[in-house]
Every structure is written in structure tokens, then in C-alpha cells.
Amino acid sequence: MKRLISYGFTLSLALAGAVCILINAPAHGAGKASLYASSVGPFEIDRVDTITLNDPAQKKDLQIRVTYPIGDSKADRLPVIVYSHGASGSKEAYEPLATYWAAHGYVVIQPTHGDSLKLLGIRGILNKNKMWQHWNTRPLDIRLILDRFDEIEKKIPALAGRLDRQRIAMGGHSFGAHTTMAVGGLEFDVPFSGKVQYDDPRPKCLLMISPQGPGTIITEKSYKTITRPAMIITGSNDTSVEKKPVSWRLKVFECIAPGDKYQVFIDGAYHGFGGIAGKVRYRSSGPAKPEQVDQVKTTALAFFDAYVRELPAARAFLESDQLERATDNTVHLKRK
């Protein structure tokens, strides 16, 4: 286990801080507001880099990374975020997000899916058919993780009896957003198979960073079956590998079922949102911009706090114009 960060506060102070941000924020038009939370978290955190879960159904071993807070009370139940990486990524990516959310009281579980560079190698990921064929194995990886909370607790004594089965969120970036939509109930229209779903009701809310618009097996009607609270994050330079315009990603919010849905649009953001994947760089990631990383991780935290922890202050933040004012209107939040 790797002990990573120490801030020396308590969860109660963290939650109180979130409330104070709202209480102390200037009134509309009265000055600049703050993001939902500071760029660091209140908890010391720890991490187990590799846990192997055997999946007899898929005849493989699934490796996961678990990052978690170290609190004062070992009896406290901890909410869980399962986070899915982008195409060719791995459980080691997105450390800026995982460590931040863990430092704010969440257990973050990251799998390495079958399309990972670590598993396929360079030749494998260059073969697009071989990589994209994992679109329907990825949701099964998430289901395996949710089924194996008891096993994860046994392998991490500090988490024994602490993973909260009633407070779970699901999130992902790019291909991981595709996986998140699948787990959230997206209805695929597969040739020769008809309507296909991989819905798992256990995650209470869904974070989709750079999700996919309509395509070969996704129609505009597909999104109507995603009824749980969802947040979509994209940006003005967040074009797809196929060079589709940003409007393609915006179709997700346009077509998704209304009710507790949010779209965060960041002016100037590329597919990497300033570095949310950490040290991982790729052709479309764009330049490093720490402020965009902060915007993504803090706004996502507000979403998780609103729908997993059900904190009124977080919900109030999402219903306000505070994000726009805090970013001089370079980040835009829409709701429906």
C-alpha cells in the first residue's frame, strides 16, 4: 500500500467547507465566486496498486487499482466511485482525479479493461477492430467489480466492512464514458442482435467525460433509457478520433432523458482537459492546463456529493451560476 497525501483535516470539516463556499459566495453579479471545493482534499489517502479479480465468465483476470481515504473512524462506511479509463488506457491513468476524489472521502476503483495498451501492445491498439471489440466486455468488468466488494474488502484490511453498497457512482472518460453510459442503461442497436443493454442499477449517478454521440450502434433514441442523474463534460476543442465536431458530443445532452442531467462545457478544452489523465499524453490530449483539471475534478465532486452523499450544498452549487462566475464564464453549466 502507498500512503500518498496528508492534509490532516476531518470529513466534517470538508463538508463544512463545501457549505461555507456557498454561504460566503458573493451574490449574483457582486463579484467572483469560487469553485465547489479547493484543489486539494481534506483526507490523507492510501492506495493499493493492483488487486486481481478472477472472472470465470469471461475467462480472464481483471486488475484494479483502489485509492481510498484514511479517516479517524474505521467504522465509517465510504461511498465508492468506479472509474473507467479511455481507449488503450489502464488503471494507472487519471491519478489527478482518483487521488482528489479519495482525498474528499470516496473510495475510487479503477479497472484495466481488455483494450489497454498493457494487454494488447502497440500492434493491438493500432488494430482498431481489436481494440473497439471490448465495448461489450467493459460493462461486464464493472459488474464484476460491483459483485466483488466483499473480496476487495478482504484484500484491503483498512476497508473491511467499509464499502458502502448503497452509495456508488460510475464515471469514465472517452471510451470509459461509453462504458459508463452502458452501465447507466444506454440502449444499443446492434446489427443482427437488436436492442442490447448492459444496465446495472447499483450506481446512483453517472459521470461521462467526452461521451460519444450517435453512431453505428447508438441512435438518438438510445440515450432516452439513461434515466439516472448524469453529468456530461466536454469542451470546444474536444473533437473525436473520427474528427467529428464537438456538436457530436453535445448530442448526448440534447438526447438524454430529462431530469437531474447536467452538461459542463469548457471553452478551449481539448480531449485531455488540461491533464486529467495525469502523465499519460496522447495525440488529442491538448496542452497542460491545471485550471481545467481543477474545473473537471471539483465540478464532478459537486455532482457526486449531490447524488451519492445527497448534500444540499452540492445540489445548490449545481443549481446556481457559481461555476460560471468562478471561471469568468469560460465554463458553462446547463441543466435539464
The pLDDT tens digits of the residues spanning 251-293 come to 999 999 999 999 999 999 999 999 999 987 777 789 999 999 9
Given this model, what pLDDT does residue 118 score?
Answer: 77
Q: Which residues in the chain show pLDDT less than 50?
A: 5-30
pTM: 0.89
pLDDT above 70 covers a percentage of the chain that reads: 86
Given this model, what pLDDT does residue 7 score?
Answer: 35
Given this model, what pLDDT does residue 32 score?
Answer: 73
- Choose among 176, 43, 58, 54: nearest CA to 107: 43
**How many angstroms separate the Cα of 295 from the Cα of each of 38, 82, 123, 198, 299?**
10, 20, 35, 30, 6
Given this model, what pLDDT does residue 5 score?
Answer: 46
Given this model, what pLDDT does residue 74 score?
Answer: 55
**Where along the chain do its domains lie?**
2-335
Q: Please give the radius of gyration of the chain, using alpha carbons only, rounded to the nearest integer.
A: 19
What topology does CATH give the domain 2-335? Answer: Rossmann fold (3.40.50)
